[in-house]
Amino acid sequence: MIGARSRDNDLNSGPLLGKILLFALPIMAMNMLQLLFNAADMVVVGRFAGREALAAVGATGALINLIVNFFMGLSVGTSVVVAQDYGADRIAGVSRTVHTSVVIGAAAGLLVMAVGLLICQPLLAVMGTPEDIIGLSTRYMRIYFLGVPASMLYNFCAGILRAVGDSRRPMYYLVIAGVVNVCLNLIFVIVLQMSVAGVAWATILSQYLSLVLILICLLRSEGGIRLMPRQLRIDRQKMGQIFRIGLPAGAQNLLFSISNVLIQSAINSFGSVMVAANSAAGNIEGFVGTSMNAYYNAAITFTGQSMGAKKVERIDAIAKVCTTLILVTWIVLGGAVFLFSDRLLNIYTTDPAVVELGMLRMKVMLGAYFSAGVMQVFPGLTRGMGYSIQPMLSTLVGACLMRIVWLVTFFAWFPTPVMLFVCYPITWTLAGIGQVGSFFYARRKVRQRVGPKPAPDVPLCQPQP
């Protein structure tokens, strides 16, 4: 029963490896399935609408993330606050956070939709989107943003479920929506010849379906996470707690997206062939990245519940397990993607120029994906402890600022695709070092605040014989 504590969602006792895997695997499957459905968008449009249509869809990704990701960061605040209250058995606090989060998510989605519809075309022009695809890109984005309210609110609701240890239901709902998305793609693009507009309409219809499913789940839940429409209102205290964690996380997402927009602008300067190759290769690499992102969600939830239950010594073990899982994922999944890179790219397109450039990008990227995983997971540990400014600053300096420096120096001096792509692993490594440092800073502060630890799993008072 959702919302009622049980051994299935009690994350504060027992061996960590099994619990983290059981929690992370559904998120990993959900992320990979979502990426598969996104890949289906690109495969269908690339195969049946042409290289320009593939490039047009790919050229919008960085810009969509720039507009959307700041508000998505607020959902991180929701996850942390719910996890801490749940770990401390503050059921009334969980309920107030749930209803506050749903209101925030709905308002944020409507705001982002309005902003996206107004500024997508001017920003695509500023980014130097090639003339042969800017019209298609604009059409795709204007339809896509109609679905942002559903996507935004879904992420807030999914964050609530994950915070109490339920990572399976969000996966089920996205699987259902994803299958619908693929079916609609085939109908809209192949049968009705709607090109990029067909892909966009299929995406937003599936997003609204996933939202309906997760709202029904919360309406039927028990305990603190049950959604009761009459209680939908902003609780100022909970909003403050959500914003304290979520705003820096959103700012980090925004800054990171700005750096990616600048890199996308540099990619656009090479023409539509390069845009298509970068889009296809990036989508394939995403299977490694989104798998690692599952451990980020696990780190937030496990650390947040440990903080609520005042089991802070468990956080070190969480960090070790998550880091080990990143390494294993990089070796196994990253190695497989690297070995079969040419065959995977040929699924997206048969254009040899696109495949050649895509393989070049993947060779540069995949060798350094472990540092990307570290950069993802350690902010989750730090935010779960209640510290959100430090991860934001680490990303600002190590990734965003250094990418800008790289673009105006080394790439400006040697404007080649390799010199552009190598920017990613270098900045991942620098940001990852900063994130590890932020974790140890937060860990020291938490230990100073909580005080000396009791012996693990030993009662403070021994029973008398």
Q: Which amino acid is at 398?
A: G
Residue 207 pLDDT > 70: yes
Q: pLDDT (tens digit, 9 = 90+) per residue, 19-68?
A: 888 888 887 877 777 666 666 666 766 666 666 676 666 666 666 766 66
What is the distance between the alpha carbons of residues 245 and 127, in angstroms, rounded to a whole number?
Answer: 31
User: Around Cβ 223, how many Cβ atoms within 10 Å?
Assistant: 15
- Can you list the alpha helix ranges (DSSP code H) found in 225-334? 236-268, 272-308, 314-329
Q: Tell which phi-psi region holds residue 420, choosing left (phi > 0), alpha (psi between -120 and 50) or beta.
A: alpha
Q: Write the burial class of residue 150 (CB in 10 Å: 0-12 exposed, 13-18 middle, 19+ buried).
A: buried
For position 16, what pLDDT does the model report? 82
pTM metric for this prediction = 0.70
Residue 458 pLDDT > 70: no
Mean local confidence (pLDDT), 237-245: 85
Residue 452 pLDDT > 70: no
Average pLDDT, the chain: 80
User: Around Cβ 36, how many Cβ atoms within 10 Å?
Assistant: 16
For position 464, what pLDDT does the model report? 38
Q: Report the range of poorest mean pLDDT among 58-62, 172-176, 380-384, 435-439.
A: 58-62
Q: Which helix (H) or strand (E) holds 105?
A: helix 91-126
Q: How many residues are recorded in the chain? A: 465
Residue 294 pLDDT > 70: yes
The confidence band for 12, taking pLDDT boundaries of 50, 70 and 90, is low
Nearest 5°: phi and psi at 154? -60, -45
Residue 431 pLDDT > 80: yes
Q: Write the burial class of residue 15 (CB in 10 Å: 0-12 exposed, 13-18 middle, 19+ buried).
A: exposed
For position 211, what pLDDT does the model report? 92
For position 127, what pLDDT does the model report? 67
Residue 260 pLDDT > 90: no
What is the distance between the alpha carbons of residues 101 and 157, in angstroms, rounded to a whole number?
Answer: 8
For position 212, what pLDDT does the model report? 94
For position 60, what pLDDT does the model report? 67
Is residue 348 a contact partner of residue 286, using CB atoms and an 8 Å limit?
Answer: no
Give the residue extent of every domain in the chain. Answer: 19-449
